Amino acid sequence: VIRHARVVTPAPGTAGARRGREIGRLQVLDNATVLCAGGRIDRVEPGGAVPAAAVEIDARGRVLLPAFVDCHTHACWAGDRLDEWEMKRKGASYLDILRAGGGIMSTVRAVRAASREALAHDLRSRLDVMLNEGTTTVEVKSGYGLTTDDELKMVRAIRDAAATWPGTVVPTALLGHAIDPAAGSAAAFVDRVIEETLPAVSAEFPGIAVDAFCENGAWSLADCARLFERARAAGHPIRVHADQFTALGMLEEAVRLGAVSVDHLEASTPQGLVTLAASAAVGVLLPCCGFHLDGRYAGARPLVDGGGAVALATNLNPGSAPCSSIPMAVALAVRHCGLSASEAITAATANAAAVLGMPDRGIIAPGARADLVLLRHRDERLLAYEFGGDPVDAVVCGGRVTRPDRAG
d(CA 309, CA 19): 4
* Cα torsion 257, 261, 263, 266: sign: positive
Residue closest to Zn ion when measured from CB atoms: 315
Neighbours of 156 (CB within 10 A): 17
If the CB atoms of residues 261 and 279 are measured against Zn ion, the closer one turns out to be 261
The CA–CA distances, whole Å, from 355 to 139, 211, 303 equal 10, 13, 16
DSSP state of 195: I
Binding string, residues 312-351; x marks residues near Zn ion by CB under 5 A: ---x------------------------------------
Residue 214 CB, nearest approach to Zn ion (Å): 12
Least distance to Zn ion, CB of residue 321, Å: 8
The span from the CA of 361 to the CA of 341, in Å, is 19
- Residue 53 CB, nearest approach to Zn ion (Å): 44
Nearer to Zn ion, 162 or 321 (CB): 321
Site string for Zn ion, 164-183 (x = CB under 5 A): --------------------
Q: Least Å distance between CB 219 and Zn ion?
A: 13
Least spacing, CB of residue 308 vs Zn ion, in Å: 20
Binding part of the chain for Zn ion, among 3-11, 19-27, 143-151, 307-315 by CB under 5 A, reads 307-315
**In terms of Cα–Cα distance, which of 310, 386, 339 is closest to 72?**
310
Determine the interface stretch with Zn ion among 33-41, 152-160, 309-317, 326-334 (rule: CB under 5 A).
Answer: 309-317
Minimum CB–partner distance for residue 319 and Zn ion (Å): 10
Q: What is the DSSP letter of 150?
A: H
CB atoms within 10 A of CB 233: 8
Q: Closer to Zn ion by CB, 316 or 372: give it.
A: 316
The residues that bridge with 239 in the sheet, in sequence order, are: 211, 261
Q: C-alpha angle with apex 309: 45 to 206, nearest 5 degrees?
A: 95
Binding residues vs Zn ion (CB under 5 A): 315
